[in-house]
A and B are shown apart, each in its own frame.
Chain A
Amino acid sequence: EAGVAQSPRYKIIEKRQSVAFWCNPISGHATLYWYQQILGQGPKLLIQFQNNGVVDDSQLPKDRFSAERLKGVDSTLKIQPAKLEDSAVYLCASSSRQGEVRGYTFGSGTRLTVV
């Protein structure tokens, strides 16, 4: 089974610029999550999708962050404009069923540095 694919692997941008991350979950996984992991901390949930619908985006800073999963498969996360404190690893994860948490499969993440 192929894993969760994320790109790019690394990104360096200047503050106030825009950036987008892409995620392709495991085939057949209906639930997709975006997490932000700041260095030395645990992953923090940003948004959860079930198919192409948003289940939970309560911790997404909506003034600058947006995410979509238009066809219920791959997803993009965008930051516009970026701030220094957005420097983090952005992890995408997927799971097979929303109501049956058997462990998430995480992608390798995108390491964002905002300078």
Chain B
Amino acid sequence: GQQVMQIPQYQHVQEGEDFTTYCNSSTTLSNIQWYKQRPGGHPVFLIQLVKSGEVKKQKRLTFQFGEAKKNSSLHITATQTTDVGTYFCSSAGGANNLFFGTGTRLTVIP
């Protein structure tokens, strides 16, 4: 399956600071999906990016897909305590099943 690496593995931010997580692949990705998993919870779908250079926004969250479709980022502006959790990127394999990255665990300090 396709491998996607995420950095950083952990991030602690003060409430109100911005946060960015990066997802990288050595191969071209057909699409990328982002999920959020709250502590003790299950992954929840956030968004899918398909086009080269695509940028999508959801309130304070901005998602980008690289021009070469080998990397992606999730940026959160002015973090809130409700943003706490692990953010996973994932890419579709040959049968359109998803392979998940290692995740970035975000801690927001009030």
Contact = CB atoms under 8 A, between A and B. Distances in A.
Interface of A: 33, 41-45, 48, 55-56, 59, 91, 98-99, 101-109
B96 A45 contact: no
Contacts of B42: 91, 106-109
B73 interface: no
| A-side interface mostly | loop
| Residues of B in contact with A, size category | 20 to 34
Contacts of B100: 42-44
B102 A99 contact: no
A103 B96 CA distance: 11
Contacts of B45: 103-105
Nearest to B103: A42
Contacts of B33: 101, 103
B95 A48 contact: yes
Chain A to chain B: the 4 pairs with minimum beta-carbon distance, closest first: A103-B45, A42-B100, A106-B42, A48-B97
Interface string B68-108: 00000000000000000000101011111111111100000
Contacts of B94: 56
Nearest to A91: B42
